[in-house]
Structure 1
Amino acid sequence: MKSPLFRDPIYDGAADPVVIWNRQVKEWWMIYTNRRATVEGPRFGWVHGTDLGVASSSDGGSTWLYRGILEGLETEWGRNTFWAPEIIWHEGLYHMYVTYVHGVPKDWTGKARIRHYTSPDLIHWEFLSTLGISEENVIDACVYRLPNGTFRMWFKQRNHTFAAESNDLYEWQPIGPVITERGHEGPNVFRLGGYYWMIVDEWRGQGVFRSDDLTAWERNGLILDQPGKREDDGTIGLHADVVVQGEEGYIFYFTHPGRVDGHHEESNHYEWRRSSIQVAKLEVVNGVLICDRDMEFELNLREED
Structure 2
Amino acid sequence: MHKLLTLVILALIFIQTTTYPSQTFGDIDRPLFADPNYHGSCDPEIVWIEQTKEWWIFYTARRAQRENASYVGTPIGVVTSKDLKTWQFRGYCSFDGIPGAPDMDVTLWAPGVIRNGDNYHMFVTYKDNATPPWGGDGVIRHYIAPADNLLSGWTLAGIPNFQQPDPIDATIIRHKKQFRAYYRVGKNGIQHSTSPDLKKWTNHGKCDGAVNAPPDERGFGYQEAPYVFHWKDKYWMITDPHKGLAVFHSPDGLTWTQQDSIMKAPGSAPSDATRARHPSVAIVNDRAFIFYHTEPNRPYPSPKAEDRTPHQKISYLQMAELTIKDGQLTCDRDASVSLP
- Fold equivalence (TM over 0.5): yes
Report the Cα distance in structure 2 between the residues aligned to 1:220 and 1:177, rounded to whole angstroms: 19
> Rg larger in 1 or in 2?
2
| Counterpart pick for 2:55 among 6, 9, 28 | 28
One-letter amino acid matched to 2:111: P
One-letter amino acid matched to 1:191: H
Is the partner of 2:30 in helix, strand or coil?
coil
| Counterpart pick for 1:250 among 285, 289, 292 | 289
Partner of 2:199 in structure 1? 170
Q: How far 1:27 sits from its partner (Å)? A: 2.1
Report the Cα distance in structure 1 between the residues aligned to 2:168 and 2:84, rounded to whole angstroms: 27
Counterpart mapping for 1:73-92 below 5 A: 73=96, 79-92=105-118
Is the partner of 1:5 in helix, strand or coil?
coil
Alpha carbons 2:237, 2:248 under 8 Å: kept: yes
Q: How far 1:260 sits from its partner (Å)? A: 4.2
Q: Which runs of 5+ in 2 are unaligned?
A: 1-27, 99-103, 214-220
Partner of 1:209 in structure 2? 248
Report the Cα distance in structure 2 between the residues aligned to 1:260 and 1:235, rounded to whole angstroms: 9
Report the Cα distance in structure 1 between the residues aligned to 2:114 and 2:61, rounded to whole angstroms: 20
Report the Cα distance in structure 1 between the residues aligned to 2:183 and 2:29, rounded to whole angstroms: 31
| Counterpart pick for 1:61 among 84, 100, 114 | 84
Alpha carbons 1:239, 1:253 under 8 Å: kept: yes
Is the partner of 1:221 in helix, strand or coil?
coil
Partner of 2:75 in structure 1? 51
The CA RMSD over aligned residues, in Å, is 1.7
Partner of 1:303 in structure 2? none
Higher percent of residues as helix: 2
Report the Cα distance in structure 2 between the residues aligned to 1:108 and 1:39, rounded to whole angstroms: 14
| CA spacing shift, 1:236–1:106, aligned 2, 3 Å | same
**Over residues 118-138 of structure 1, what are the superposed CA-to-partner deviations in whole Å (9 max), with x where a residue is unaligned?**
111213111111123214310
Alpha carbons 1:102, 1:110 under 8 Å: kept: no
Q: How far 1:74 sits from its partner (Å)? A: 6.9
Partner of 2:21 in structure 1? none
Tell me whether 108-117 or 285-294 shows the greater mean CA deviation.
108-117
**Over residues 153-186 of structure 1, what are the superposed CA-to-partner deviations in whole Å (9 max), with x where a residue is unaligned?**
1000124200111011111110010132332110
Q: Which runs of 5+ in 1 are unaligned?
A: 301-305
Report the Cα distance in structure 1 between the residues aligned to 2:263 and 2:57, rounded to whole angstroms: 20
Alpha carbons 2:140, 2:164 under 8 Å: kept: no
| Counterpart pick for 1:279 among 319, 324, 330 | 319
**Over residues 141-164 of structure 1, what are the superposed CA-to-partner deviations in whole Å (9 max), with x where a residue is unaligned?**
0111123x1111100012420011
